[in-house]
Amino acid sequence: LYYVYPYQIAIQIPKDAAGSGLAEIVVYRVSTSEILAVTEVRMDVASPAFFTEGSTGTGQIAAINQDGTINNVTVKTDSAGKVIQGPGERSKVVSLYLTGQGNIAGMPDDGQPPTTTVPTPPEAQLRVFIGTKELEQSQIQYSGLGGGYPGLWQINAVIPDATVPGINPVVILYRGFPSNINPVTGGRVTTTIAVK
């Protein structure tokens, strides 16, 4: 359980949960056994989705540039004038943060952060697109659990030289599932990074 807000609860799906069919989720008050909510969710082996600014699922994704700054179209500096946020550079690495990689070999116990690298399997056939370019496999430097948080998926990828400066869409395909489809509505979402 990550957090509980008045209209939202964030949980980690257990790693041994079913990879198909429907799963029932029941929220109840332990002290009274009162059922507060019940829903069914469709289960798949993967459901890739980027963490985004404002937690909307669209727009600027959670990403860190190679120089350690937060990826964003708006440049911000700290009180000493050091850049802490701005676009990433072409030919440099950007770390992308996602969820939905599914169960992978070597995962830590539910609710625990990884203490070593836990890469996604090659047979998952990860494909990364930045702007209008599909990255070559050599441009995907790492894909797996990372960032020190339970279930957090990190992809380190080189921004292609041919990427147009400005706001660029970023999409992945993983186990055949695209990151730009809302699993609830089936509608397309747009996720982006900033490039200079």
Q: What is the pLDDT along the chain (196 residues), one digit of tens a residue?
A: 878 888 778 888 888 888 899 999 999 999 999 999 999 988 899 999 999 998 888 999 999 999 999 999 999 999 999 999 999 999 999 999 999 999 999 999 999 999 999 999 999 999 999 999 999 999 999 999 987 889 899 999 999 999 999 999 999 999 999 999 887 788 899 999 999 9
pLDDT of residue 41: 87
Give the closest residue to 144 by CA, choosing from 191, 107, 94, 91: 107
pLDDT of residue 93: 98
User: Please, which residues bridge with residue 24 across strands?
Assistant: 40
User: Please, which residues bridge with residue 143 across strands?
Assistant: 155
pLDDT of residue 97: 96
Q: Which amino acid is at 108?
A: P
pLDDT of residue 11: 84
pLDDT of residue 185: 83
37 three-state secondary structure: strand
pLDDT of residue 64: 98
Give the closest residue to 94 by CA, choosing from 130, 51, 119: 130
Give the closest residue to 11 by CA, choosing from 20, 72, 23: 23
CB 58 within 8 A of CB 51: no
pTM here?
0.90
